[in-house]
C-alpha cells in the first residue's frame, strides 16, 4: 500500500477483494489450540494485539509505513487519488472509492448519522464502486470528507470498519494459529496491504505458502521458525508488484523485532521504513 516517501500509497490488486468474506475466510476451519512461544513458561498468557496498548503500537507501526508518521489519528481526514486505479484513497486505513470498503464505511456512517456531509454522495459511490472514476464525486467530495472527519461519529465509523475488515480477522487467525502479538501484527500488516482475495499475493495465499514450509505453534511448530517462513512468503508477494518492491516494512521493521525475539512487541521499539527511522519508548 506504500510507494516510498509518498504521502499515501497504492495497494495490491487483491487489496480489498471479497471484503464480505474476509472474516469468514480467516477464521474458517476447526478451532486450533496452542500456547504461543512468547507466552510459554510465563504462567499467564501474554497479551495479544487486541490489548489496547498493543493495538496502539500496531496502529503506529502501520502508520509509519503508510504515512511516514506515528500519528495515525491525524489521518482521518486524509483523502487523495494516488493514481493506483482505485479512485480516491482516504482515512486511517486507506479506504478506496473503487474497492467497496469506502462505500461500506459511508453507508455505516449514514446509518449512524443521516444527513452527514457524505450522505449525498452515496449514489455516486455506488456507481463508481469497482472503478477509478470520480463521476458524481468531483469537485466537492474531498472537502466533504474532510468536514466529516471533524465528526467523532465518522472517526468511530472508520475505527469500526478498520476493525471489522482488517484488524479483528487478523488477530483471530493469529490466535487460532497460536502466534503471539508480533505474529498477529505480521498478519494484520499483510491484510492491510494485500487483502484476502483469491490470487497468489492475498493474505490467505501468503499464509498457505508459509504453511508449506513451517508449522505454526498451534500445530506443534516453533513460533520463530513459522514467522520467518511467513515473512519470507510476504516478501515474495510484495515483490510481485512494483509498488511494493521496497520490502523495508518487513526487512527493517518486523524482522528486526523477530531477530530480537520480541514476540510480544514490548517497547522500546526501534525500526526503519523506507529509510525513515522511528522509535516507540
Residues designated as active site: 66, 84
- Buried (b) or exposed (e) across 68-105, using 16+ Cβ within 10 A? bebebeebbbbbebbebebbbbbbbbbbbbbbbbbbbb
Location of C-alpha cell 472517526? 155
Instruction: Give start and end residues of each alpha helix (H) in the chain.
Output: 22-27, 52-66, 101-112, 122-128, 141-148, 152-162, 168-176, 181-194, 203-211, 223-238, 248-249, 255-259
Query: CA dist 164 to 69, 95, 157, Å?
Result: 24, 13, 10
Residue 264 C-alpha cell reads as 510480544
Cell numbers at 65, concatenated: 509505513
* Cβ(188)–Cβ(171) below 8 Å: yes
What is the residue whose three cell numbers read 492491510? 192
CB 137, CB 106: distance < 8 Å: no
Would you list the DSSP string of 66-84? HTSSS-GGGGTT-EEE-SS
C-alpha gyration radius of the chain: 18
- Residue closest to 101 by CA, chosen among 190, 203, 2, 15: 15
Amino acid at each position: 500500500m506504500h510507494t516510498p516517501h509518498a504521502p499515501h500509497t497504492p495497494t495490491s490488486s487483491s487489496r480489498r477483494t471479497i471484503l464480505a468474506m474476509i472474516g469468514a475466510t480467516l477464521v474458517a476451519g476447526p478451532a486450533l489450540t496452542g500456547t504461543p512461544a512468547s507466552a510459554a513458561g510465563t504462567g499467564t498468557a501474554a497479551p495479544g494485539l487486541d490489548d489496547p496498548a498493543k493495538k496502539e503500537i500496531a496502529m503506529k507501526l502501520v502508520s509509519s509505513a503508510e504515512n511516514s508518521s506515528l500519528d495515525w489519528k491525524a489521518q482521518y481526514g486524509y483523502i487523495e487519488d494516488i493514481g493506483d486505479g482505485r479512485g480516491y484513497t482516504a482515512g486511517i486505513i486507506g479506504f478506496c472509492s473503487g474497492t467497496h470498503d469506502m462505500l461500506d464505511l459511508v453507508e455505516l456512517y449514514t446509518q449512524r448519522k443521516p444527513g452527514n456531509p457524505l450522505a449525498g454522495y452515496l449514489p455516486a459511490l455506488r456507481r463508481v464502486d469497482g472503478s477509478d472514476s470520480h463521476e458524481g464525486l468531483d469537485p466537492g467530495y474531498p472537502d466533504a470528507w474532510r468536514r466529516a472527519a471533524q465528526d467523532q461519529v465518522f472517526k468511530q465509523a472508520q475505527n469500526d470498519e478498520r476493525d471489522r475488515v482488517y484488524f479483528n480477522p487478523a488477530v483471530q487467525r493469529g490466535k487460532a494459529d497460536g502466534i503471539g502479538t508480533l505474529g498477529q501484527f505480521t498478519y494484520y500488516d499483510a491484510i492491510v496491504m494485500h487483502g484476502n482475495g483469491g490470487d497468489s499475493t492475498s493474505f490467505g495465499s501468503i499464509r498457505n505458502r508459509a504453511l508449506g514450509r513451517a508449522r505454526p505453534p498451534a500445530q506443534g511448530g516453533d513460533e520463530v521458525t513459522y514467522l520467518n517462513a511467513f515473512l519470507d512468503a510476504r516478501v515474495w508477494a510484495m515483490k510481485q508488484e512494483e509498488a511494493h518492491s521496497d520490502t523495508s516494512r518487513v526487512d527493517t521493521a518486523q524482522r528486526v523485532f523477530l531477530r530480537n525475539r520480541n514476540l510480544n512487541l514490548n517497547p522500546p521499539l526501534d525500526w526503519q521504513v523506507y529509510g525513515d527511522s522511528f522509535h516507540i519508548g
